[in-house]
């Protein structure tokens, strides 16, 4: 018999609704279903809901509602909740895998007993699901990495990972939206900005979206980067579906 869902306290003004363990599309579908159901219900005092791999964080205003009242409404929704695979967008994003932009590509190839070209082919041949955003604005945790590329995180994280770095670790891939510390393996870089406050929608990817990658040359990278910096790059052209 399943012990899930479970509701756990999260600070003074929040609680977490947990649906399972690990990274699983079915578990995540339940998270997204409750996220959508609370969005439709709009209970008084609800501040926000934040989905993750396996749980939904529910935050509330204690001056407008009580933990008991809001939790009762959540439990009522759980009684008839059905998994929801959100109809997200499909993106096709450019990545340059040139050696100077991919400092770990050769090492990944060696450890996986592949050529660098084969690593690129596998990465660009995948279709990745955005489970959640976290760590910093715009950073998308994308699952679905081919098992031949599964590696643990680096033993020694870097103190600075360049913005736009495309990375892999374990069963995931991601793009660093900002320069930051990081312990994933860097196999390429995109000229895109995953977060840009000047855009109408500052964060490019959302939970439920899917992503594929295509390889570009170093010259194409420089040209696209120039367009991005000038604000003339057409991000809409990267959406395969609405």
CA atoms of 89 and 200, how far apart (whole Å): 17
Task: Fill in the DSSP letter of residue 144.
Answer: -
What does each C-alpha distance from 151 to 114, 163, 181 come to in angstroms? 13, 22, 19
- pLDDT score for 2: 61
Task: With beta carbons less than 8 A apart as the criterion, state whether 37 and 58 touch.
Answer: no
CA atoms of 148 and 159, how far apart (whole Å): 27
- pLDDT score for 80: 85
The predicted-structure confidence for 149-172, as pLDDT tens digits, reads as follows 999 999 999 999 999 999 999 999
- pLDDT score for 79: 87
- pLDDT score for 1: 42
> Among candidates 159, 165, 160, which has minimal Cα distance to 177?
165
Task: With beta carbons less than 8 A apart as the criterion, state whether 180 and 171 touch.
Answer: no
The predicted-structure confidence for 86-119, as pLDDT tens digits, reads as follows 668 999 999 999 999 999 999 999 999 999 999 9
What does each C-alpha distance from 15 to 58, 65, 67, 90, 149 come to in angstroms? 5, 13, 8, 32, 36
- pLDDT score for 87: 64
Could you list the pLDDT tens digit for every one of the 242 residues in the chain? 468 899 999 999 999 999 988 888 888 889 989 998 999 999 999 999 988 888 999 999 999 999 999 999 999 999 888 886 666 899 999 999 999 999 999 999 999 999 999 999 999 999 999 998 887 889 999 999 999 999 999 999 999 999 999 999 999 999 999 999 999 999 999 999 999 998 888 999 988 899 999 999 999 999 999 999 999 999 999 999 65
- pLDDT score for 85: 61
- pLDDT score for 82: 85
Task: With beta carbons less than 8 A apart as the criterion, state whether 23 and 43 touch.
Answer: no
Q: What's the pTM value of the predicted model, to 2 decimals?
A: 0.83
> Among candidates 115, 128, 108, which has minimal Cα distance to 173?
128
- pLDDT score for 19: 93
């Amino acid at each position: 018999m399943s012990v899930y869902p479970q509701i756990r306290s999260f600070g003074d003004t929040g609680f977490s609704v947990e649906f399972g363990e690990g990274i699983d599309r079915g578990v995540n579908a339940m998270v997204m279903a409750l996220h959508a159901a609370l969005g439709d219900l709009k209970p008084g005092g609800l501040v926000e809901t934040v989905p993750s791999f396996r749980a939904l964080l529910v935050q509330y205003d204690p001056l407008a509602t009580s933990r008991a009242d809001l939790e009762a409404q959540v439990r009522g929704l759980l009684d008839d909740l059905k998994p929801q695979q959100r109809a997200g967008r499909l993106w096709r994003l450019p990545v340059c895998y040139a050696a100077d932009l991919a400092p770990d590509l050769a090492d990944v190839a060696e450890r996986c007993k592949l050529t660098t070209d084969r690593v690129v082919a596998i990465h660009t041949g995948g279709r990745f699901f955005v489970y959640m955003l976290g760590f910093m604005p715009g950073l998308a945790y994308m699952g679905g990495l081919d098992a031949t590329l599964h590696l643990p995180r680096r033993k020694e994280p870097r103190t600075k990972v360049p913005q736009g770095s495309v990375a892999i670790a374990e069963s995931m891939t991601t793009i660093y939206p900002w320069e930051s510390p990081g312990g994933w393996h860097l196999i390429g870089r995109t000229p895109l900005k995953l977060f840009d406050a000047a855009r109408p929608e500052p964060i490019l990817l959302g939970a439920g979206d899917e992503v594929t990658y295509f390889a570009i040359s170093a010259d194409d990278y420089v040209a696209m980067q120039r367009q991005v910096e000038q604000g003339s790059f057409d991000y809409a052209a990267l959406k395969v579906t609405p």
